[in-house]
Structure 1
Amino acid sequence: MRGRAVLVAVLAMAAAASAVPAVEAETSRRTVQTTSATAAVRDVMFVGNNWDGTATVVDAHTHRKIKTIDTIPDADARMREIVADPARLGFFLAIQQAIGEGHNQYTDDMFTTHDGRLVAVSRPSFADVVGIDLATNRIRWRFPMEGYRADHMGVSPDGRRLLVSDSTANKVHELDLATGRKLREFPSGDTPHENTYTADGERIFHASIGRVYTPTDRGGLEGDTSKGRRYLQIVRNDDFEILRRWDMGKELAEAGYPDMSSAVRPMAVAPDERFVYLQVSFHHGFVEFDTRARDRRRTYPGEPLRGKVRRVAYLPDRTGGLPREQYVLDSAHHGLAMNAAGTKLCAAGTMSDYAAIVSRETFRRRVVAVGPKPYWSTNGPDGDECWVSVSGNDTVVVLDYRTAERLRTLRVGDHPQRVRAGYVDRDIVRAWRS
């Protein structure tokens, strides 16, 4: 609670600050490939060890660890900048005590270029994104946030463009993945979070989670006000126009589920890109939302579709009555993926120490105990495996969607969070091994 109070105070103090750092970019001469279907790259999974400042690279098919890379090779330079700036130092310490649970947050999200020669890493405590050359482990480019913290990212299907959520600036930046050059931006609510492209790259599903670090966790007018503006929105990629925007708490209340949070956490978009499955703060389960539904009570001919909550899945609450104020950043569950066939979901039960494989049709589930504080779930490259990061015991668990069986448990670095599929050039892999 003390850490939350510190962060709230720092946010209020810095609200008047408007310094915007310049982009640091080094142009790459390498051409980014638009397909991974080549023998030149290996399918891998990147596991971001947030408190370590490392990323573990794992073969996506054999589940064997290949390499651990340093994601903060410039740590000394960054810390000199931070201690010289009182506002940045205040945020750095507040992030450490509140969001980082007493630890610095060095490695959040990661995406590679399709040629497997560069990985982009968002670094919350350093408030930036860097492009790291996988052959040399040197930083090829760096993009500082306009605000004081970087968070989740998203990558376009062609691997050329990167989205990064700027937590305190309430916007999402679009970068050229190869060079780090800023291209565009779109606005968000408070604390922008998830970014998911549609398969054709024409739209972006984006969500903001609000101020999850505040101590007002009981809802009601006061709690909702302190949490800020929280939206699910669909953005058209062509011009970054916000096509649709929903307050999910209001949508849930209208569908007969009152007193649920508006904060959308991880999401999974169905193959038809009509239905999206959403985790929301404090809820043990997820929401099925139809983005193209019409509500006859509110919609008139010619009006755009409004969207509608169809169902809510309730998964086991194994916290033993733990007060919600003790949930990590309001996360009952944090991590949701869907298999390639669009028939099953994989949910990380963060506060209940399990992962659940859930039938999309019936919501029947098989629950697998994976260890303390599972923090993310994502698909392997073939879409038939779910990779779950278990941050409390520094492991990653690989589950089979079909059987819900545990295929592998891997020990990684300190506090694994985001896991992402990516590529590494085969020559680089050979060099790592030699």
Structure 2
Amino acid sequence: MPRRRRSLTACAVTAATAAALAAPVAAAPAAGAAASRDVLLVGNSQSGSVSFIDGRTYQNLGSFNVIPDLQQRLADMTVVERAGYETVKQIEGGDRFVDDVQLAADGRTLYVSRGNLDDAAAFDVVTGKELWHTRLDGFHADHAALSPDGTKYVISATTAQVAEVLDPRTGAVTGKFSTGTYPHQNDFTPDGRYIYNTSIGITSLPKSLELLKGSFLLEKVDANTLQVVKTWKFPHGIRPNLVAPDGNTFYAQQSYLNGFVKYDLNQGKIVNTVTMPYSDHGKSLSPDDYPQNSAHHGLALSGDGRQLCDVGTIDDYTAIVNTSDLSTKGIFNYPVNSLPYWGTTSADGTRCFVSLSKANAVSVIDYATAKEVARVPVGVFPQRERTGLADPAAVAALTPAG
């Protein structure tokens, strides 16, 4: 039986649609068109929707359903695929329909990595139509990234230990590369020349068996040939991470670490390990109680590069840390069990958006003061957040926020 399926929309496009797909993904808006809107996309993992938040006013503009085909997808699964779906669902404590989300340069095409469904899908937000969906290897679709020029969409196929590259226009798989155990995050360099991929290891095993979790790798991959050009090995699973603008400094959270590390890529070594304070709630947990082995899960860098936003998942806080000396500028505390789970810097570089997964909200933290300036209700179990520019027509087509 074929492993991959596409929606009929993708398989039977009309000549007019094919011509549109052949156009450059990053085409400039037509003269006189309304200005695009700065938005934050929030993947509501359990409710299977994406919330659009105004990037400046923090108003919830509405949401878009990214699992309209859920029942059909479940019905189409083979016995093995359904067993994998149920296993991943049990490990993660429920359905996780949205793992990652990106908005194309046209401001209306939405790409979604649909975690437990183990696929990627594209939607036209204006018309509400699914353009295509593609099943990945293994049983879980993880972090994804869209290349700067909009021509490549890379997604980690977690249990298959590969990252797959798709053509964003059609959903066709154009290549893949091997990774460490349980590949997780993907990031393109600003010039689009390389992909950084990190792996977290088998999270279902207890900490006492960490040696059996597999290989924890940071890989630098040529985005055109998909050949791995350099590999760095880490002692623990690599959680949210980023490469600083200098191209050499790598900041990363690690499994079980209540903080983060600063790593020198040229020297190939950790140069600083920053241990952050435990909250009372954090102290009460054993490492095997940490969500998917994560103590801190969420890391972002301010626009000027002077502060890091360190999301304290088990500690229910967000810390702002100075990059100059790695001192803590301030900590903002949330109610116990809010589960802050991701951090993304605003388009203007001044704020850190933090998803509060169990509070169904996004917290907006000011880098300058380390204080919360807004809290925005969203869907159920928000996780990944990405910034983008939305076409006004796409905003108008959203389901209004409740």
**Superposition TM-score, scaled by structure 2 size:** 0.90
Which residue in 1 is equivalent to 2:234? 248
Residues 27-426 of structure 1 aligned to structure 2 (within 5 Å): 29-30=20-21, 31=23, 32-33=25-26, 39-82=34-77, 85-99=78-92, 101=93, 103-214=94-205, 216-218=206-208, 222-225=209-212, 227-249=213-235, 261=236, 263-293=237-267, 307-318=268-279, 319-365=282-328, 366-371=330-335, 372-426=338-392
Q: Secondary structure at the match of 1:329?
A: helix
Answer whether contact 1:385 1:399 (CA < 8 A) is retained: yes
Deviations 1:360-396 (A, max 9, x none): 1111111111341101001111222110000011110
Q: Secondary structure at the match of 1:337?
A: strand
Question: Counterparts of 2:392 and 2:343 in 1: how far apart (Å)?
Answer: 26
The root-mean-square deviation of aligned C-alpha atoms, in Å, is 2.0
- Percent of aligned pairs with the same residue? 32
CA displacement at 1:22 relative to structure 2: 4.8
User: 2:385 is matched by which residue type in structure 1?
Assistant: V
Answer whether contact 1:36 1:114 (CA < 8 A) is retained: no
CA displacement at 1:401 relative to structure 2: 1.1
Question: Counterparts of 1:420 and 1:90 in 2: how far apart (Å)?
Answer: 31
Question: Counterparts of 1:35 and 1:309 in 2: how far apart (Å)?
Answer: 42
In structure 2, list runs of 5 or more residues that go unmatched: none
Please list every run of at least 4 consecutive aligned residues from structure 1 whose deviation after the TM superposition is greater than 3 angstroms. Answer: 22-28, 34-40, 430-434
User: 2:83 is matched by which residue type in structure 1?
Assistant: G
CA displacement at 1:110 relative to structure 2: 0.2
Answer whether contact 2:64 2:399 (CA < 8 A) is retained: no
Answer whether contact 1:34 1:158 (CA < 8 A) is retained: no
User: 2:375 is matched by which residue type in structure 1?
Assistant: T
Question: Counterparts of 1:23 and 1:234 in 2: how far apart (Å)?
Answer: 30
Answer whether contact 2:303 2:348 (CA < 8 A) is retained: yes
In structure 1, list runs of 5 or more residues that go unmatched: 1-17, 250-260, 294-306
Question: Counterparts of 1:181 and 1:188 in 2: how far apart (Å)?
Answer: 20
User: 1:358 is matched by which residue type in structure 2?
Assistant: V
Deviations 1:9-65 (A, max 9, x none): xxxxxxxxx973355545651532267998542111111110111111111111101
CA displacement at 1:328 relative to structure 2: 0.7
- Compared with structure 1, are the counterparts of its residues 432 and 168 closer, same or farther at alpha carbon in structure 2 (3 Å cutoff)? closer
Question: Counterparts of 1:49 and 1:274 in 2: how far apart (Å)?
Answer: 33
Q: Secondary structure at the match of 1:351?
A: coil
Question: Counterparts of 1:153 and 1:352 in 2: how far apart (Å)?
Answer: 27
Deviations 1:260-309 (A, max 9, x none): x2x1011021011111101110001111111112xxxxxxxxxxxxx221
Deviations 1:106-138 (A, max 9, x none): 111000110111101111111100001101222
- Compared with structure 1, are the counterparts of its residues 210 and 275 closer, same or farther at alpha carbon in structure 2 (3 Å cutoff)? same
Answer whether contact 2:219 2:230 (CA < 8 A) is retained: yes
Answer whether contact 2:125 2:397 (CA < 8 A) is retained: no
Answer whether contact 2:261 2:272 (CA < 8 A) is retained: yes
CA displacement at 1:224 relative to structure 2: 1.0
Which residue in 2 is equivalent to 1:8? none
**Superposition TM-score, scaled by structure 1 size:** 0.84
User: 1:59 is matched by which residue type in structure 2?
Assistant: D
CA displacement at 1:163 relative to structure 2: 0.8
Q: Secondary structure at the match of 2:117?
A: coil
Which residue in 2 is equivalent to 1:20? 3
Question: Counterparts of 1:135 and 1:405 in 2: how far apart (Å)?
Answer: 36
Which residue in 2 is equivalent to 1:252? none
Answer whether contact 1:152 1:165 (CA < 8 A) is retained: yes
Question: Counterparts of 1:156 and 1:362 in 2: how far apart (Å)?
Answer: 32
Answer whether contact 1:201 1:237 (CA < 8 A) is retained: yes
Question: Counterparts of 2:321 and 2:385 in 1: how far apart (Å)?
Answer: 20
